[in-house]
Structure 1
């Protein structure tokens, strides 16, 4: 059974995100009608839903904000910076009120204080209407065209048991405009067998309103997944044809129809009153009307419906898919060994089905990374004000999709990096102006797909990083020797070391280098890598490379002696033959000729110290991470393998070059190679950022 309160809290949280996003847009474009409507709908929906689930104080508090935005919509009130700041405070108060239906006295006192401030911000001619909650539009305001909606409601059988009732929904509809409600019992209802705890009632509502379809959607937001709800938008001519159908069926008279149409109201009597018509006749009439409007409904595209699923259930689904993939690998091996055509056919069919199921499960888990980007706009705005800086956050690639698990774990590192850019990257407006820069600094947050990976880039046009200062501080701390010759990219990577900082004083907000090792560890726990580049006086670029998912990947299985390894297929470019007579250098690396260039290579046999006879002709798999290319030399290439990633225990989690393990069809274990770690260890250019 669904918990109505939990559903309300989840939906209200989404509406608060929409409100915050709208307010931040309105801060730049105060006359944006679309964003004003978004803010109004968010407050209207939270107010109505809060009353339905018993959050009376929250409904009372949000009512005032709804009235405020109603006045902004009709032109009685203009949004300015001070009012937006106040509404953001109210938004935070609503977030706190969502936690309990009976708030504390202190919390209610805060609400009343905010209401007083809202009242003071309103013009006299508007604040006088405050208590009524319905401001009158000015005489010269634009008249909104009224439309008629026909709404068919059929609650599910257990609606009463789930805590939902028809009456609050009807009251919400009545608040949108004049409406007529007719009800009828389900055809399966029987007086001698019915259960009084079940709902057998259905409604047909004819509503005249100027609020629009989105206001109707808000009314049904908490029951749309469980109830059958059909909303039909009709004009007066089509309404007249519906009335003619009622006359033909004997439900109403021509005189009553004419009186109703002159009042712009379809009906003012109960269509199911005794003696007028049987409920079945009304149902047939409505079905006929549906047929008349079928052409119109076909023109209008129906929005895709969605449901909420808990993260736990998604994880369980992915685990089951992973077990299915392992079973499929076992069946493939079994079919190959037996050489039985029927078993091979079944194995091929299972492979097709498991692949489709895997892709579908991936699609369910994938979310646009923009859902994370949205929360950072408020962070940048508030911190910029606290630091007396002028900063704008620009984002791109918000539609880039990433596994929800990765998105959730990526939020904290991004917050830390953005705070660093604000505190120690972007200069004060006066300093920027003196340096010939615009007073307002820019931070960019970008996401994109590259070679099967997600690349998230945080860049700013601030002061940049002083590489000489970083180098000298690293020498002081004993991280490197003064005689070492490091590239700029290698120097910048030093700030990711534990406890490293170039700041003379510790900032309350952040410090570039303070806690950056935590960011690095968080990214590496997601099997990702972080690279830093900077130009002093021009800005800093931080690039994060992440896998799209941490569950199942396509891999290339390779063999070294009797051991098997898997390389992520998204990193593989091609395979070439090389001679084992080539001697590796002391650090385990060597160079091979590939497409008119020399490519660094590493032998897995030497990297993991694997015993056994080395073949005369080896296979070298050429992989790419970003702009860096590496050859990984093995004894043999086995082929494509769907890889279910299993985490290693604490004993092996720090082994360099290994990101996890997988179970093969034979029941044996194959290690999954951390290609990024090998590239970073053997290629000095892997940290360069274009």
Structure 2
């Protein structure tokens, strides 16, 4: 039998981290609304699920600590404990410690470092204060079977029939029995073998086991039942209290006992060596269609529509689809060259299918940015308390989707920008009152799509940037020459220079002159841009513009002589053919009159130093990025093209105006134009835009 327990444990670790994230979000919601019963229920379920799953894998440190947390949460759910700031704080710290324990398990065991062990001791001491017994209400008759006096044990009869797919689903039946022993004592156990097939029909990966168990425990029926939550769909379960319900079952002959001593049975369970009882035992009917189990079934059915896939497999799929796109383009080119109509029609159909496959593959990697945004609620809470400020985080555009790789890599830059805004941007309560503002500061996180890119905004309503102080510091460092008159936007962007800081004092959060340049570098590596705008006394807005995906884009092919370039299609607005007279006039003036609009022109032949004469009739591709707009003058318009982005080598890393390369259907290499960098470079060197236009563009 092949049971991949390591893979199952890795799945548990991933899901446990997700449960902790959900638990943290619910705790923050509960802090805002102490009467939110849904949040309390979500917190309890998260802790209970983690404890139960950890028990299956024998992760005792997680089980023991989470059990204490779960006990406090149960009292909170029952109304025995009131929500207050102290409780929220200790539960958040407990969540952090549970994550530490899970990380230790993820690293294949090991022990917690001494500081973490000390934190666990301190947390347990605080949690025990909330475990203090309180007068319990008298149970109703309906509750009598579920509520017993503390410490009073009962004898239970459990009949278990595991489904044949239990092993294939990564579960070990004996692990549930070992976990059951944490709630009490297995007094007697019989292995049921009546479902075993003939030898020639035996499947080594199928489970044919069943157990009859006599179990002594002070736990409630519900607690025992929850041990088997994770195999409920693959298992028939009957749990009966023997002291009052065993007689009817005994009369039917469905309950048997094993002659094996209890001590021997317990030892066999602990070692995982269970010998089958050779007697045939009739299968016990399982009555598990309770309301709770029906809800669980519905929930699992919904969860079944999702499949957890390793990200590396998705990357491999995207790469293969990219190669398929290139091969499809080559086949289409060959078909056109052969002038074979049926072949062209066939390759056209294949190209359409490839495009659909490509769109579907790219959607697999798209995830909402909201999960990343929500993680910052805890950061804002903790940092604002550390700074003694009252700061509220407002999130919008959480449903905006972008590539998973981009989401993973943008987290750290966003974290630094948020910390910087809280530390230096938003004033203290006294300063805000003196400025006529509300005591509570506000941070806005927003995401939206624009021109084929995603824009992330981090805005605060603080004091804004000190323009004069930044300029003075820049002049001291030689970043701005004496007598120069940079625009406000150019001055503000100086804070992204390495080591630049105007902070008067260094704090634990910022002020060391490191970080903002790293933020810009990390965003640039994602083929993105970052700019900011600030208004004194009103606040600062940082805008990050990122591509939706780093793998494949829709491109527009243009030709210059024998060379081919790709322009991202989302940035192309229109194409214009220049007559010879218009071409001469435009070259002399450096711009084109586009329906009354002055359109600066960029001659790519000159910009990239192509030799040879230009075409007699040239074309203009009108491109737009943020507020920057220009016309790219090229020789030929070659049409749309699915572009698989191939990174440039280190040798070409400093090549401005080029963001990557791709392979055409002919096998030739085409360079992908970096339109944002190209327009900014032309604007700065040739002064074709006014400072106002540049400021508006950079602010986007």
Distance across 1 between alignment mates of 2:62 and 2:88: 20
Once residues 198 and 441 of structure 1 are traced to their aligned partners in structure 2, the CA distance between those partners, rounded to angstroms, is: 60
Aligned to 2:526: 526
User: Once structures 1 and 2 are overlaid, which stretch shifts more, 633-642 or 569-578?
Assistant: 569-578
Task: Give yes or no for contact 1:169–1:219 (8 Å, CA) kept in 2.
Answer: no
SS in 1 for 2:652: coil
- Alignment partner, residue 128 of structure 2: 119
- 2:198 aligned partner: 190
Partner of 2:562: 562
Verify the 8 A CA contact 2:464 2:535 in the aligned structure 1: yes
1:156 corresponds to which residue?
A: 165
CA distance in 2, matches of 1:137, 1:620: 82
- Residues 57 and 175 in structure 2, CA contact (< 8 A), matched pair in contact too: no
Corresponding residue for residue 484 of structure 2? 484
- Tell me the equivalent position of 1:76: 80
Relative to structure 1, the CA distance from residue 183 to residue 359 in structure 2 (aligned partners, 3 Å threshold; closer, same or farther) is: farther
Q: Does 1:57 align with 2:65?
A: no
Aligned residue number for residue 151 of structure 2: none
CA shift, 1:29, in A, is 0.9
Q: Deviations over 1:529-585 (max 9, x none)?
A: 111000011100000111100000001111111110111111111111233314558
Q: Verify the 8 A CA contact 2:163 2:235 in the aligned structure 1.
A: no
Cα deviations across residues 333-371 of structure 1 (Å, max 9, x unaligned)? 111101223322331232122212211211111111112
Per-residue CA shift, 1:191-219, capped at 9, x if unaligned?
45536674235899xxxx9989xx97993
- Counterpart CA distance in 1 for 2:512 and 2:622 is 36
Whether contact under 8 Å (1:559, 1:634) holds in the other structure is yes
Q: 1:614 to 1:196 in 2, by over 3 A?
A: closer
Q: CA deviation at 1:473?
A: 2.4
Rounded Cα–Cα distance in structure 2 between residues aligned with 1:276 and 1:201 = 12
Decide whether the 8 Å contact of 2:554 with 2:642 is kept in 1: yes
* Maintained 8 Å contact 1:41/1:218: no
CA contact (8 A) 2:166 2:234 kept: no
Give 1:497 deviation, angstroms: 2.1
User: How much has 1:491 moved relative to structure 2?
Assistant: 2.1
CA 1:17/1:157 → structure 2, altered by over 3 Å: closer, same or farther? Answer: closer
Aligned with 2:473: secondary structure? Answer: helix
Q: Which position in structure 2 is the counterpart of 1:580?
A: 583
Distance 1:189 1:630, change over 3 A: farther
- Tell me, in whole angstroms, the C-alpha distance in 2 between the residues paired with 1:550 and 1:367: 14
Q: In the alignment, what sits opposite 1:619?
A: 619
Preserved CA contact (<8 Å) 2:328 2:354: yes
Return the match for 1:199 from 191, 202, 207: 207
Shift of 1:327: 0.6
Seen in structure 2, the aligned counterparts of structure 1 residues 211 and 564 have a Cα distance that, compared at 3 Å, is farther
SS of match in other structure, 2:651 = coil
Q: Identify the residue that residue 652 of structure 2 maps to in structure 1.
A: 652
Q: Which residue of 2 aligns with 1:27?
A: 31
In structure 1, distance between residues paired with 2:676 and 2:236: 53
Is the contact between residue 581 and residue 616 of structure 1 (CA under 8 Å) also seen in structure 2? no
Worse-matched range after superposition: 576-585 or 90-99: 576-585
Of the three residues 222, 229, 235, the one matched with 1:219 is: 229
**CA separation of 1:350/1:63 partners in 2, compared to 1, >3 Å: closer, same or farther?**
same
Distance in 2 (alpha carbons) for counterparts of 1:65 and 1:591: 69
Give the TM-score, by structure 1 length. 0.80
Aligned CA RMSD, in angstroms, stands at 4.3
Q: Is the CA contact 2:391–2:441 (under 8 Å) kept in the aligned structure 1?
A: yes
CA distance in 2, matches of 1:138, 1:310: 51
- Listed one character per residue, the Cα deviations across residues 365-417 of structure 1 (whole Å, up to 9, x for unaligned) are 11111121122111111111111111111111111111011111111110111
Cα distance 1:600–1:97, how it changes in 2: closer, same or farther (>3 A)?
Answer: same
Determine which of 173, 179, 200 is the counterpart of 1:165.
173
Partners of 2:165 and 2:234 within 8 A in 1: no
Deviations 1:41-82 (A, max 9, x none): 111011111111011121011011111111111111111111
Change (3 A) 1:187 1:163: closer
1:94-493 aligned at under 5 Å gives the runs 94-98=98-102, 99-100=104-105, 101=109, 103-104=111-112, 106=114, 107-125=116-134, 154-156=163-165, 158-159=167-168, 162=170, 164-165=172-173, 168=176, 189-191=197-199, 194=202, 198-201=206-209, 219-220=229-230, 229=234, 270=254, 302-493=302-493
Corresponding residue of 2:70: 66
Which piece of structure 1 moves more, 117-126 or 519-528? Answer: 117-126
Q: Distance in 2 between matches of 1:607 and 1:272?
A: 90
Deviating beyond 6 angstroms after TM superposition, the runs of 4 or more aligned structure 1 residues are 137-140, 169-175, 182-188, 209-212, 215-218, 271-279, 297-301
